[in-house]
Amino acid sequence: MTEKPMALSSVEDPHYLGGIGDWLRYHGERNPTQEAIIFRDQRLSYGTLNQRTNRIANALAARGVGKGDRVALLLLNGNAFIETFFACAKLGAIAVPLNYRLTPAELQFILSDSGSRVLVYHPRFSDLIKPIRGETALEHGIAVAMPGDDIGADADYEQTLRRSPDSEPDVLVRQQDPLMMMYTSGTTGKPKGALLSHANPTWIAINSMLGDLAVYHHDTVLTVAPLFHIGGLGIYTLPALYMGTKVVLHAEFDPTETLRTVEREQVSVLFLLPAMWQALTLVPDIDDFRLDSLRTLLSGGAPCPIPVIEFFQKRGLQFLEGFGMTETCASACVLGDADAVRKNGSVGKPLIHVQMRIVDEQDRDVPPGETGELVLRGPTLFLEYWNRPDATEEAFRNGWFHSGDIARQDEEGFYYIVDRKKDMLISGGENVYPTEVEQVLYRHPAVQEVAVIGVPDARWGEVPMALVVARPQQSLTLNELEAFCRDKLARFKTPKHLQLVDALPRTATGKILKRELRRQFATHD
């Protein structure tokens, strides 16, 4: 297809450093009986996982997949996702994880934009692909029937594995070669494909060996967040596989089943999105579960409501808040346990191999306490936006990646993400950061979820509006809300409109779709 693979045996560089496919080969040879993946009733050792990965890699190669080719993954969390992802890595192909909650039209855009020619999919999602397949470059499809499925799915995936050899692919893959294409969530427009290299998760794994974020060989990691999201894949799953650690996979999130699994498998490390952590707090018998095996709880993907953080801290659990994005391969900084209480609301300090600054419109550093745009550099940064040289050039300026996040730094060097640059509203000439307002509103006893947006106002240009999901059997009025905020927020930051809603629109990764809220309520009177 794109490039004839170069044999690994032809490497002449004595400093050659291979891709992440070497991780499974290493552990498969060194610790073949060590448990690697637990999924439903399957318990795969590293030896078995590496063999299965080689089989699917050779099957893909037989279908013409080579270096640089794109392979789309439309899969639930499971061993097939991990196997196919690492199979692509061993071939030098580019994995394109797909969000199965997208519409056919949205999937068509990504498949067409990426030029994916092979799709590995769960039959549950066949109806998403059928109407658009003729509009894409797809040439092959491999169906995955997961253990326990009773949906009449064919077993193409397992049959393909049985027909393929388990020999190691002899392909030269370097650290700077592309590994995966993660499409941004598209909360502000058409998604962009962020192209990440083999070096990116390697450095994330190295970062994850140090400090509060550390994952160790003896840990058990539970992955519930979707693997098509950089957080679910990059924060702990890939670092765990780098370390030879056991990973438990859940196909989908269920709060009670998550707690059961923590107790049954003695899970020590758990990353969830804020909405998931909040769902755990609503499990009525949560204190009946033994959670003493948990060493590290980590939230990321969006600001976590402070009451949720306090809920777990009060139970003696170490709750960390991290910050990252698709373009940084999930991680950039983390708030350590020693500062979790006194620095609530902060995302901490940069990881060891990440540099961060806060700059003004002229890219000049702003003093502590003032807000500006967060810029980053380091080996965890992505390569480019796929087929978007304009967006790539705009993002990488003066040697730094411009994140689009508004942040501030305190006198001790702790970073605070104030808001997305595009979410900020200006009311009467004053900057209002919705996240700051939301964190205050989350403390109101009637508020279960909240989003703040700007709506037009004849006098002030725009003013804050709160969209609130109330707690069961609770109500809230605008007067009550204003009274609650009176000594907590400046008047220009206090919401001038309140709308009670049944639910907030979210992406599959848990981020609130403020673009959709602005569309619905832009004409609010």
Q: Which domain holds residue 146?
A: 18-197
Asked if 1 and 66 touch (Cβ cutoff 8 Å), the reply is yes
Q: What is the pLDDT of residues 474-517, one digit of tens each?
A: 999 999 999 999 888 888 899 999 999 999 998 766 678 888 89
Is 451 inside a domain boundary? yes
Do 177 and 136 belong together in one domain? yes
Do 374 and 498 belong together in one domain? no
Of 197, 230, 261, the domain-final residue:
197
Closest C-alpha among 118, 80, 79 to residue 96 = 118
pLDDT band at 384 (very low <50, low <70, confident <90, very high): very high
| Average pLDDT across the chain, whole number | 89
Q: What is the C-alpha separation between 143 and 404, in angstroms, rounded?
A: 38
Do 397 and 344 belong together in one domain? yes
Do 246 and 188 belong together in one domain? no
Residue 77 is part of a domain; what is its CATH number? 3.40.50.12780
Is 1 inside a domain boundary? no
Closest C-alpha among 94, 301, 323, 275 to residue 185 = 301
Please state the rounded mean pLDDT for residues 228-254: 96
Is 5 inside a domain boundary? no
Does residue 64 have a pLDDT over 80?
Answer: yes
Spatial neighbors of 407 by CB under 8 A, at least 6 apart, are 358, 371, 372, 373, 374, 415, 416, 417, 418
Q: Which string of DSSP letters, residue by residue, matches 107-169?
A: HHHHHHHHT--EEEE-GGGHHHHTTTGGGS---EEEE-PPTT--S----HHHHHHHHS--PPP
User: What pLDDT shows up at residue 512?
Assistant: 84
Closest C-alpha among 349, 319, 320 to residue 332 = 349
Of 163, 197, 231, the domain-final residue:
197
Q: What is the pLDDT of residues 349-371, one digit of tens each?
A: 999 999 999 999 999 999 999 99
Do 436 and 413 belong together in one domain? no
Spatial neighbors of 52 by CB under 8 A, at least 6 apart, are 44, 79, 83, 161, 166
Q: What is the pLDDT of residues 404-443, one digit of tens each?
A: 888 999 999 999 988 776 777 878 777 787 888 898 899 9
Do 366 and 465 belong together in one domain? no
Is 178 inside a domain boundary? yes
pLDDT band at 195 (very low <50, low <70, confident <90, very high): very high
Do 187 and 217 belong together in one domain? no
Do 40 and 166 belong together in one domain? yes
Do 351 and 303 belong together in one domain? yes
Q: What is the pLDDT of residues 5-14, one digit of tens each?
A: 556 555 566 6
Spatial neighbors of 351 by CB under 8 A, at least 6 apart, are 207, 210, 211, 213, 331, 332, 333, 334, 380
Q: Chain centroid to CA 422: how far?
A: 20
Do 339 and 440 belong together in one domain? no
**What letter represents residue 444's amino acid?**
H
Do 324 and 271 belong together in one domain? yes
Higher-scoring residue by pLDDT: 89, 106: 89
Question: Which helix or strand (DSSP H or E) is residue 96 part of?
Answer: strand 94-97
Total domains in the chain come to 3
Is 274 inside a domain boundary? yes
- The phi and psi torsions of 367 (rounded to 5 degrees) equal -70, 160
Q: What is the pLDDT of residues 290-308, one digit of tens each?
A: 999 999 999 987 777 888 8
Q: What is the pLDDT of residues 103-124, one digit of tens each?
A: 888 899 999 999 999 999 998 8
Residue 358 forms beta bridges with which residues?
374
Is 7 inside a domain boundary? no
Helices and strands (DSSP H and E) totals, the chain? 16, 26
Residue 516 is part of a domain; what is its CATH number? 3.30.300.30
Please state the rounded mean pLDDT for residues 368-383: 96
Q: What is the pLDDT of residues 141-153, one digit of tens each?
A: 888 865 555 434 4
Q: In terms of DSSP bridges, do strands 118-121 and 70-74 run parallel, antiparallel, or are they unpaired?
A: parallel
User: What pLDDT shows up at residue 187?
Assistant: 45
- The sign of the torsion formed by the CA atoms of 69, 78, 234, 53 equals negative
Of the listed ranges 3-17, 20-34, 112-126, 207-221, the least confidently predicted one is: 3-17
Is 202 inside a domain boundary? no
Separation of first and last alpha carbons in the chain:
56
Of 175, 197, 219, the domain-final residue:
197
DSSP helix/strand/coil, 237? helix
Q: What is the pLDDT of residues 12-22, one digit of tens each?
A: 666 667 899 99
How many C-beta neighbours within 10 Å does residue 66 have?
16
Do 97 and 129 belong together in one domain? yes
* HSE, side-chain direction, 13 A CA sphere, residue 409: 19
Q: What is the C-alpha separation between 441 and 499, in angstroms, rounded?
A: 13
Is 12 inside a domain boundary? no
